[in-house]
Amino acid sequence: MLSNILDRISFWSLFAVIVLLPVFFLPFTQIPIETSKGLLLVMGLVVSIIFWIAARFSDGKISVPKSWILVSGFCILLVLLLSTLFSSTFKMSLFGTMLDVGTFYFMLGAFLLMLVSSVVLKDIQNAKAVFWGVIITSFVLFLFQGLRLFMPDLLSLGILGGKTDNILGSWNAFGLFAGFSTIMSLFVIEFFSIPKMTKWLLGILILFSIILSAAVNFSLIWELLGVFALIIFVYKISYSFGEKQEGGETEEKKHFPVFSFAVVMISLLFFMSSQFIGGLLPNSLGLSNIEVRPSFGATMSVTGEALMKSPILGAGPNKFGEVWAMYKPQAINTSQFWNTSFSFGSGLLPTFAATTGVLGILSWLAFFVLFIMAGVKSLFSSIKNNTNWGVVVFFVASLYLFVSSFFYSTGGVMFLLAFAFAGIFIGLSSSSHPTKEISISFLDDPRKSFLSTLLLVLLMIISAATGFKYVERLASVSYFGKAVSATTIPVAEDSITKAVSLYENDLYLRTYAQIYLIKINSIVSKGSSLSEADKADLQVSLDRAVNGAQLAIAYNNTNYLNHSSLGIVYDTVGSLGVKDAYSKAIESYKAASVLNPLNPGIKIATARVFLADKKIKEARNYAKEALALKPDYVEGLITLSQIEKSDGNNSVAISYAENALSLIPDNKDLIQYVNSLKSGGSVPAPDVTPIETAPETKAKR
């Protein structure tokens, strides 16, 4: 039957999305791994939806689960849409740079993945195929990464860097996924009737996963692994021992859950002795994993401030970076991680609280309450009847992934898999009860047939158009990568122009402006020997640099980086003698400072523009404001030293320079600068601009 063939194509397309998500990437390209996974998601879903619709044209019947979980998921999507529509930067909340995690389009993809999984994978055989496919993919992923620990350069595939770079996501996310594989394998061993050979192969996978978890040594892994393994252990014991047969005789005891007990003990060992045992394997393999992110307390602090301003719908999807810049705690400036933006908070789910407001929080709470209630009901039903383990395993899998996403920004892969497994759980739960499905036959009634066909055709067209549009934007990523890695100005200029023409966003536009600033400096470095062609090229480059930064602001006027970029452009233009350029640079820096009020770096940039414009009083005031925010700010002390020197206060200038030197006593350039001040020389101030890192480190080694 034609509908069966079309349904199989739909299934295999969805199968490819779920199973390949952890390992899919495009080697030897300029396309980031997360972006390539977005391509798999979009194209796989589009194909699956189109062929599922085509199958419905053939059999004239639509059947979907009747589930309150799906309804609550739709409510989340509706809140995200409203929050996006009322966002001050609509495009950033809708799609972001390239299907960013947390944007409306990404969450639409996650919801559709859950919905399509509940419809296409409601057959137990299809669900089992997906489950075993993920298990096999996990083994391939771990084997590849295990080899990379010893041969990182050979297996870089043109896109991976150090040993901890992997094809799933961050190193900590990789460790959490290893824990996920451990829990899934453990559940199968303890509750499924499988051949002994399969059981031992899964045991090997568990061992491999635990070794890799130890290599990552992220405390959250051991916490989740221990808790979930303990639940499986207790769950197994609760029905395996002391079961009564009819007549009151005790049934023969089943095997002791050795695997789950061992995992509990190993997790406890690593959790209790993480400082000693936890560092053994990473140190012996030479692994260094420094990852920084806001703490849960800092995330909740900025979330509270954001909700005070926009309580109902929040700041808008994909805008946590702007929220953090505006409301970050001042104590951050006392650390070395004061000058970094964050796209996410302590975890993915807490991030949504700040970006989607009270309605978002309530919709997520409703989703999880309904999901957990349905899952717990299935758990107890399985204990009572010793059946439906296939349903329960997908609930446990999804729950683990959702919990991980609450405590950590797991990235797109694990979050999407959480929705996929939740969809399978919904589908399997509904398929065993005919009353839990909604079935519509539309070929028998002409009116139903016309309306249903029209809606299905529109859905098919929208799906296809979405896929084509995404591919067009994806093409820009390669050009952007070429622009960033280019070694010559013409190549960078040509590549960034093509990238912007395919997809215009503030990241591309800021880079566009920076490339033309580099070109300006290259032309100016020729000195007085500029030809007429050089002068014309200089003017065009000036205009394009300014235009690029202005367009970045037009795209997202709440991102301080865009205003700072325009300030840098005007500062450079002012140094070339262009009238009123310095005043425009100051305006741009002030706008950036409003959006990131506790950033001393912006105030120092403003002070330097005032100094270049010979406005000593204003320059001094801004530099002192920067030091009030961060007293140990070396660059601020040096800038104040320059200001005082230009105002003839040499002793004060020396004092500031010596204070800076006391903070970095081994800096040779700064030592030379201090000596020059003392001797009355004219050595330029050293460049001690710090490397940007991030607040509130959560580093693991």
C-alpha 500/C-alpha 494 separation (Å) is 10
**Same domain for 44 and 165?**
yes
**Same domain for 588 and 634?**
no
C-alpha 388/C-alpha 617 separation (Å) is 76
Q: Which of 423, 441, 459 is the last residue of a domain?
A: 441
- pTM: predicted TM-score of the whole model, two decimal places: 0.91
Here the CATH number for the domain that contains residue 579 is: 1.25.40
Look at residue 176 and give its three-state secondary structure: helix
C-alpha 125/C-alpha 132 separation (Å) is 11
C-alpha 616/C-alpha 536 separation (Å) is 34
DSSP code string of 65-101: E--HHHHHHHHHHHHHHHHHHT-SSHHHHHTTTTT-T
Q: In the beta sheet, which residues pair with residue 65?
A: 437
**Same domain for 34 and 130?**
yes
- Judged on CB neighbours under 10 Å (0-12, 13-18, 19+), 90 is middle
pLDDT value of residue 445: 66
Decide: 653 and 645 in contact? Cβ < 8 Å: yes
**Same domain for 391 and 318?**
yes
Residue 156 lies in a domain: yes
Name every residue whose Cβ is closer than 8 Å to that of residue 52 and which is 6 or more positions away in sequence.
6, 7, 10, 116, 119, 120
How many distinct structural domains can be found in the chain?
3
Residue bearing tokens 């709440």: 558
Residue 295 lies in a domain: yes
**Same domain for 636 and 555?**
no
**Same domain for 635 and 589?**
no
**Same domain for 94 and 56?**
yes
**Same domain for 588 and 652?**
no
**Same domain for 428 and 560?**
no
pLDDT value of residue 59: 80
Residue 410 lies in a domain: yes
pLDDT value of residue 345: 92
Residue 334 lies in a domain: yes
Q: pLDDT tens digits for 537-589?
A: 999 999 999 999 999 999 999 999 999 999 999 999 998 888 899 999 999 99
pLDDT value of residue 193: 82
pLDDT value of residue 386: 59
C-alpha 443/C-alpha 546 separation (Å) is 60
Residue 204 lies in a domain: no
Decide: 34 and 97 in contact? Cβ < 8 Å: no
Rounded to 10 degrees, the C-alpha dihedral 478/479/481/485 comes to: 140
Residue 258 lies in a domain: no
**Same domain for 422 and 545?**
no
C-alpha 422/C-alpha 444 separation (Å) is 34
Residue 468 lies in a domain: no
The DSSP code for 577 is T
The DSSP code for 256 is -
C-alpha 65/C-alpha 119 separation (Å) is 7
Q: pLDDT tens digits for 313-363?
A: 999 999 999 999 999 998 888 888 888 888 899 999 999 988 999 999 999
Residue 603 lies in a domain: no
**Same domain for 566 and 524?**
yes
pLDDT value of residue 239: 63
C-alpha 651/C-alpha 654 separation (Å) is 5
Here the CATH number for the domain that contains residue 668 is: 1.25.40.10
HSE-CB for 601 with a 13 A CA cutoff: 20
Q: Which of 441, 467, 495 is the last residue of a domain?
A: 441
The DSSP code for 343 is S
C-alpha 637/C-alpha 387 separation (Å) is 70
Positions in the chain whose pLDDT score sits under 70: 1, 239-255, 274-275, 382-387, 389, 434, 443-448, 683, 688-701
Q: Which residues of 30-46 are buried (b: 16+ CB within 10 A; e: fewer)?
A: bbbbbbbbbbbbbbbbb
Q: Which of 441, 461, 490 is the last residue of a domain?
A: 441
**Same domain for 521 and 563?**
yes
- The domain of 671 spans 625-701
